[in-house]
Structure formats: C-alpha cells, structure tokens
Amino acid sequence: MREVLKGAQLLGIQCVADACRDILGETGDNPTNQQLPSRRKQDRCYVTRAVSPVRPVWRSPEDTPEYTRASHLGRLMNGSSHWSQEFTPIPHRPEDTPSEEEESGAQGRATPHHSQSQGGGASAGSGRKRKSQTPQQCPVCQKIIHGAGKLPRHMRTHTGEKPFQCSACGVRFTRNDKLKIHMRKHTGERPYPCPSCPARFLHSYDLKNHLSLHSGDRPFECPLCHKAFAREDHLQRHRKGHSCLELRTRRPRRGTDPRGSPPSESFGQQHLDHMSVAAAAQLLEGHGGPMQGVPLLTGARMPYPELLWRAVVGPVGKALDKAEGGSSPHGSASVTHRTWEEEDEEQEAAGEEEE
C-alpha cells in the first residue's frame, strides 16, 4: 500500500493517495479527507476527482489515465467484482424515492417491466416488454450504463481486464461474445454470405456494409462538397479531414448535440454546416457577385476552404470594395467581425431561401 501511495503521489493522483493514507491509517495533509463522511461518498469523490473535466479520447486503455487510475482503484477496491456491488444504480440522490428513480431512467417513461427491486410496477403493458433494467453510472467515467449486468462489462474497459482468452492464439478479450466472434477467424466460419458475390463476412454489419457496394447506394452525402459515401463513418472521416472545411464545431457525438437535436439526426447538423457555406456564399454575393472562377452555389465542387476563408476573413470583400470603389453595401470589416449569432441568423435566412 505504501508503494501504491508512493506511486500515487508521484503521479499526482491525489484521490488514490488519500485512499492509501486512509487505509494505512495515516491522516495525511490533505484536508479533503475530512470531507469524506462515508465510504460510498468517498468512492464517488474518487471518481469525480479522478476524471478530468476535459477528458481526451484515448484509444488504448492501457495508455489512459483512467486505466491507470482505475487500476489503482480496482486494486484498492479489491477486485473488479467490487464495482457492481459498490456502485448502485444511478438515480441515487439519497432523497430519491423509488418513483423518482423510475422517472430518471434513460427512457424517461415508466418501465413496463419488473423490476424486482422496484416492486415490479403494474406493467403498463404498453410498449416494449422488458424495457428498463436499472441504469447504472460508471464510477470512473460517469457514463450511464443501461442494462442489467452491463456495468461490470463496461468497467473492464477501464481496468483493462480481459478475462476471455482465445485458446488458439492467446488473444484476450474483455467480452465473451467478442471472443466467440474472434474464434470464427480460427474456425474459418463466416456466417454472413453475400447473396450477390462469393464474399462472406464475420459480422452481420460487415455484410450490411458490403451490400451497399452492390446496390451502389451512397446515402451519406457531404453537405459541403456533396460527395456521397456508402458508409456513414467514411463521411465522418471525410468531413474531419482537410478535404472539407467546417466553419462550425464538429458534429457532436451522439446524444451530445448542444443544439438539442436528437441523435441520428445527422442531417440536421449537416444541414447547418451546409447553411454555413450558403451563408458564406451569400456574403460573397453581397459583395457584388461571385468571384471570378469561383462558383458560389454549393452544388458544385469548389475550393471551399479558400472560399470560406475569404468569405469570413474578408480579403475578397476588400478586393471587391476596391474593384467597386468601396461601394459595397457590406464592408469587409462587417464580415470579419460577424458573430456566431449573426451567422446563425444568416444561416436560418439562407435555409429559408434555399427551401
């Protein structure tokens, strides 16, 4: 434990250091010790302080601070099985009543099914049969995990624990079902054959992706350059790359759209991005029409980065001002100092015009 304490101090993981001191019976010099009245609250406290408010996305769990911290925590808490016991379902403000817990479920409606722990509420009978299994909050990343027994599964993503090992090649997995799929590589089983060609696939979704190749469907279109993709993730990659400039923030991850648009409504956000271009184009047109050699409508391929840059920063405006003797109704400065709010209004107007 002293080694852990030393390591925690070295790494600056104050919460773990505090826990070590607590276990070792040392008071330590951290005043936060006095703020931890109960074990449960302590645990929560570790979590909140262990996770940085600005949490980068890490790919390899072994590389993550969370991994390191979770490993420490896991050891401190005597094994991963402890997670599910120590951390209870989420609607857990102590003052919550059972009915409030029902309400705070992710689905936001009464659970038609069960549950044992909540009195098996008179199944409203409508909707899905077995909807909400009490959601639980991950103590490390605060994420809400839905589904009974899913929290331990999720916790393994933090601890790096991979209890399922392939007997053929030794590769380890965090989940049994992933191991099962992996085993198909050794058995040669590819249970998802393409009906149109000899291709066979390990995963159903691979077949689904593959089928779009045969159909030629490219339902995912870039709102900026109108290039179409067969796969949504390819569109996302395209949009994140340099080939398509986005003036606004990137599309939020699912469920985190600050504008409140529902998940999967990617079109909404794409439309907004598209509107940014349209607004920029309008700005240019407001300066006296399209630049030479640069089409301003959004339907054709064009150097958007340059176009947008000029539209927002204003050299085009200057050039046009110069060309027109400064008679443009919008000075370049007005372009340069436009605010997001103004641009939003423009976007809305542009959207209406386009409709």
What is the contact surface with DNA in residues (CB under 7 A)?
Answer: 59, 61, 84-85, 89, 106-107, 115-117, 128-131, 133-134, 138, 143-154, 157, 173-178, 180-182, 185, 199, 201-206, 208-210, 213, 227, 229-234, 236-238, 241-243, 253-254, 264
CB burial string 15-38: b at 16+ within 10 A, e below: bbbbbbbbeeeeeeeeeeeeebee
Min. distance of Cβ 339 from DNA in angstroms?
29
Min. distance of Cβ 138 from DNA in angstroms?
7
What's the rounded Cα separation, in Å, for the pair 179 and 190? Answer: 15
Min. distance of Cβ 206 from DNA in angstroms?
5
Min. distance of Cβ 28 from DNA in angstroms?
32
Instruction: Specify whether the CB–CB gap between 268 and 252 falls below 8 A.
Output: no
CA angle (224, 225, 227) in 5-degree steps: 120
What's the rounded Cα separation, in Å, for the pair 234 and 162? Answer: 30
Instruction: Specify whether the CB–CB gap between 182 and 173 falls below 8 A.
Output: yes
Residue nearer to DNA on the CB measure, 138 or 283: 138
Min. distance of Cβ 245 from DNA in angstroms?
10
Min. distance of Cβ 208 from DNA in angstroms?
6
CA angle (340, 290, 245) in 5-degree steps: 45
Instruction: Specify whether the CB–CB gap between 36 and 17 falls below 8 A.
Output: no
Residue nearer to DNA on the CB measure, 289 or 305: 305
Instruction: Specify whether the CB–CB gap between 284 and 311 falls below 8 A.
Output: yes
Residue nearer to DNA on the CB measure, 40 or 238: 238
Residue nearer to DNA on the CB measure, 40 or 185: 185
What's the rounded Cα separation, in Å, for the pair 262 and 43? Answer: 33
Residue nearer to DNA on the CB measure, 241 or 329: 241
CB burial string 227-258: b at 16+ within 10 A, e below: bebbeeebbbebbeeeebbbbeeebeeeeebe
Residue nearer to DNA on the CB measure, 39 or 254: 254
